[in-house]
Chain A
Amino acid sequence: MLLSLPFLWAGRLAGMFGSPLCVALLKTAWRISLDGRTGVTALGAIAKYVGPAEAIGCGLAWMEKHPRAELAAYAGIVAAEAGLADIARNMLTASSQFPPDGMGLAETLEFSVAKRFEPLGAAADCARRLESRNDLSPTVSGMIYTELLWDAVLRGRLDEARGRAEHILAIGDAPMANLVLAALSHNAGQSAGHMAKASKLPPAELHYYSFLTASGTGDDERANEHLARLTEFNTGLAEYAAVQVSAAREAE
């Protein structure tokens, strides 16, 4: 473990300066330490500098000799990001054979698979299932709280949406939670003090979330306005948003 540190630090430093040399250094660090976290760092560098396919290949090869929960979950996340549903699902099954990993990667993969490859609504179900656990990593909790916030907004559970937005804002800056509170205040005829903070979002995201919020609060006029603006910035996202809203309405 101690011997791997110089390679790990040098690899991280090389990564900070964008040098592909970090791949070789981090691979060496993993081979010496066989530590799951170091393996994940190495896989991340491979995915970034060589390619997702190579990272998944390395992850699978390393897993055969040295099974680690983190490696399985991270290889699955890379696969999910690359759109490789089968590999992601296999890795999810593999990671579930281990006790929960310390980095919370297994839940990230579980949520990613539900979000990317399952029908609309599956991600919210997955988030609700995970929400009952109190051993999640902050990253996973952030994702599921955001998912549940939008689920509540889209399905018109506005009181729940307000509570979730306030809880998210009690933890840190979250422009989208401000956006929801602004919309809810606007809907209730109050001044929208949160809007200024919400406008920190990039334009496409601002219109995307504004569209979802307006749709959820039943303000169709504003929703259409935002959808039109969103289409100007990102057509694909606009189409996805429209599908999201119609799916939520159908589910109701």
Chain B
Amino acid sequence: MRLEKAMFLLPGLVIGLSLHEFAHAWSARLLGDNFSRRQGRVSLNPFRHLSILGTLAIFLLPIGWGKPVQVNLYNFRNPKRDYLITSLAGPLANIIVVLCCIGLAQITRNDCRYGAGAQAYLTSAHSMLIAIALINTVLAAINLLPIPPLDGSKIWPCLIPGLKPSFGSKGIMIFIIAIMLLMHNGALDPVLRVAFNSTSYYMPYPDSALCEAYDDLGAKSLDNGDLNQANVLFSAAVDHNPRAHRSLRNRAEVYLIAGRLQLARTDIEAALAFRETPEYRQLQQKIAEAIRLRDASIIRQAASQPASGPAE
């Protein structure tokens, strides 16, 4: 895995794993078990929760893990119910992180509404929120699988009558290797795809990304000669990002072809105000020439017509 990719995943994993383990420890404490507190796990400090091996794995594999929180079932009043709540708390924390990211993304999605300087920050923040949300989705989904030592293996015995909540540590390594293999050969992809798609469905796109997408589609329509469609798409791009000089330039071209020269001049001037390029200048000259020709034609037309006023 490339270092940049790992660095991109790192914040999501650190936040996700820390909150996941904190949620287990905190819920256990609320339900009467203070063993996790004694181990220093009722804390939001990531260093209390990240395991060295799990953190190194972030750079080598597509996923990492934290130190599992040990729960003492003897301290629970109702072991089965309380263990269920404690086990669910981890994935639930990840789902809450996803919901928070979706909420914050409603602010960062309007990345083009503010100055150019703020846009860069907002776009980066939005990308980071998307990454954090998707990583936490993966963490929640994987942890719900009924394979030890994942939370799912603790949840299901609490729900199925007759099964005991505790699970021995025998053979845990075999299960861990099995999970790694399942992830590596793509057997878990269908589960992850469902989780990914659910989060992506609610995750808003940033205006800059929508603007780019509309601009690309508009360029295709323009190539196909569909001026109306191109105009609609470039206008949508400009609506999302009023400083999208490329879209303004493209719409100016559409107006030029359509003969709406004043609108074309307005757009190209707006584009030039944001970016001065020889290409834009060339189009501006073309539009100016077209306007000059049109004006000259109008003047000639007017001159060739007989005077309509009363003869002196």
Q: Which A residues are within 8 Å of any B CB, using their own CB?
A: 1-2, 5, 100, 102, 104, 133-138, 141-142, 145, 167, 169-173
> Which residue of chain B is the closest to A168 with respect to CB atoms?
B74
Most chain A CB inside 10 Å of its own CB: which residue of B37, B73, B74, B79: B74
Cross-chain contact A104 with B52 (CB below 8 angstroms) = no
Complex CA gap A141/B79 in Å reads: 13
Complex CA gap A136/B75 in Å reads: 8
Contact with A along B135-158 (1 / 0, CB 8 A): 000000000000000000000000
Q: Find chain B residues with CB under 8 A from A167 CB.
A: 74, 79
Cross-chain contact B72 with A137 (CB below 8 angstroms) = yes
Complex CA gap A209/B231 in Å reads: 87
Give which listed residue, A1, A100, A104, A171, contacts B166 with CB less than 8 A.
A171
Cross-chain contact B40 with A172 (CB below 8 angstroms) = no
> Which residue of chain B is the closest to A138 with respect to CB atoms?
B72
Cross-chain contact B52 with A5 (CB below 8 angstroms) = yes
Cross-chain contact A2 with B52 (CB below 8 angstroms) = yes
| Distance of B46 from chain A, by nearest CB (Å) | 15
| Distance of A105 from chain B, by nearest CB (Å) | 12
Complex CA gap A196/B72 in Å reads: 28
Cross-chain contact A171 with B79 (CB below 8 angstroms) = yes
User: Which 10 residue pairs spanning A and B have beta carbons closest together?
Assistant: A141-B74, A172-B166, A135-B34, A135-B38, A102-B39, A171-B73, A138-B72, A134-B34, A134-B75, A170-B79
Give which listed residue, B37, B71, B79, contacts A135 with CB less than 8 A.
B37
Cross-chain contact B38 with A100 (CB below 8 angstroms) = yes
Complex CA gap A145/B71 in Å reads: 16
Q: Check if B164 is an interface residue, CB within 8 A of chain A.
A: yes
Given contacts A102-B40, A135-B38, A170-B79, contact A142 B52 (CB under 8 A): no
Q: Check if B80 is an interface residue, CB within 8 A of chain A.
A: yes
Q: Find chain A residues with CB under 8 A from B165 CB.
A: 171-172
Contact with A along B262-289 (1 / 0, CB 8 A): 0000000000000000000000000000
| Distance of A143 from chain B, by nearest CB (Å) | 10
* CB proximity to A under 8 Å, residues B62-82: 70-75, 78-80
Cross-chain contact B72 with A141 (CB below 8 angstroms) = yes
Q: Find chain A residues with CB under 8 A from B74 CB.
A: 136, 138, 141-142, 145, 167, 171
Q: Find chain A residues with CB under 8 A from B253 CB.
A: none
Taking chain A's interface residues, is the majority helix, strand, or loop, or is none over half, making it mixed?
A: loop
Q: Check if B205 is an interface residue, CB within 8 A of chain A.
A: no
Complex CA gap A142/B149 in Å reads: 21
| Distance of A68 from chain B, by nearest CB (Å) | 15
Complex CA gap A170/B163 in Å reads: 9
Q: Find chain A residues with CB under 8 A from B53 CB.
A: 5
Cross-chain contact A134 with B32 (CB below 8 angstroms) = yes
Complex CA gap A171/B73 in Å reads: 7
| Distance of B28 from chain A, by nearest CB (Å) | 10
Q: Give 9 new A-B contacts, CB below 8 A, not counting A5-B53, A135-B34.
A: A2-B52, A104-B38, A134-B75, A135-B37, A136-B35, A138-B72, A171-B73, A171-B165, A172-B164
Most chain A CB inside 10 Å of its own CB: which residue of B32, B40, B52: B52
Q: Check if B33 is an interface residue, CB within 8 A of chain A.
A: yes
> Which residue of chain A is the closest to B55 with respect to CB atoms?
A2
Complex CA gap A169/B80 in Å reads: 11
Q: Find chain A residues with CB under 8 A from B33 CB.
A: 134
Cross-chain contact B73 with A1 (CB below 8 angstroms) = no
> Which residue of chain B is the closest to A16 with respect to CB atoms?
B173
Question: Can you list 6 A-B contacts (CB < 8 A)?
Answer: A5-B52, A104-B38, A134-B32, A137-B70, A141-B74, A172-B165
Complex CA gap A134/B79 in Å reads: 14
Given contacts A1-B52, A171-B165, A172-B165, contact A137 B73 (CB under 8 A): no
| Distance of A133 from chain B, by nearest CB (Å) | 8
Complex CA gap A1/B34 in Å reads: 27
Q: Find chain B residues with CB under 8 A from A104 CB.
A: 35, 38
Q: Find chain A residues with CB under 8 A from B34 CB.
A: 133-135
Cross-chain contact A138 with B73 (CB below 8 angstroms) = yes
| Distance of B221 from chain A, by nearest CB (Å) | 56
Contact with A along B71-98 (1 / 0, CB 8 A): 1111100111000000000000000000
> Which residue of chain B is the closest to A144 with respect to CB atoms?
B74
> Which residue of chain A is the closest to B72 with respect to CB atoms?
A138
Cross-chain contact B70 with A138 (CB below 8 angstroms) = yes
Cross-chain contact B35 with A138 (CB below 8 angstroms) = yes
* CB proximity to A under 8 Å, residues B16-68: 32-35, 37-40, 52-53
